[in-house]
A = this chain, B = another copy of it.
Amino acid sequence: MPTSLLEENDGTDASAKDVLSPDCPSRIVFGRIGERWTMFVILALEPGPMRFTALKARVGVITPKVLTETLRALEGDGLVSRRAFVESPPRVEYALTPLGRSLLEPIAAMRAWAEAHVPEVLESRDRALS
């Protein structure tokens, strides 16, 4: 079992350094989440399958290059599926996989927290300026 996120190091065990271990689940997830556009793309796909351009419009200010990169990464993780229709003009649909969809739950928890507490954060930031 891939151990814990943080050091439980008592000072004697050097092998406890697994924070950066590629197998640490939290590290993997927070790593992906850390990428700037991941969340936005996943959230954008929530309503259902969507074409590249529609997705781009929904996410907002994102270049096609970066959107493609993000999509490829999420595909590699099995969170998003890509379906290309052989037509002209070309048509491609992206969708959340069941796995990707399951991630919506914890994300929703974060959003809920955001809605509820961001005013306090903002207030604190204002105070910090003075």
A58-B9 contact given A19-B40, A34-B33, A106-B109, CB 8 Å threshold: yes
Chain B residues closer than 8 Å to A114, beta-carbon distance: 25-26, 28-30
Interface size range on A against B: 35 or more
A103, B113: Cβ atoms under 8 Å?
yes
Number of copies: 2
B128, A19: Cβ atoms under 8 Å?
no
Beta-carbon contacts under 8 Å, A75-112 to B: 75-79, 99, 102-103, 105-106, 109-112
Flag whether A125 is at the interface (Cβ < 8 A). Answer: yes
Chain B residues closer than 8 Å to A99, beta-carbon distance: 117, 120-121, 124
- Residues on A facing B (Cβ under 8 Å): 2, 5-7, 9, 17, 19-20, 23, 25-26, 28-30, 33-36, 39-40, 43-44, 57-61, 75-79, 99, 102-103, 105-106, 109-115, 117-118, 120-125, 127-128
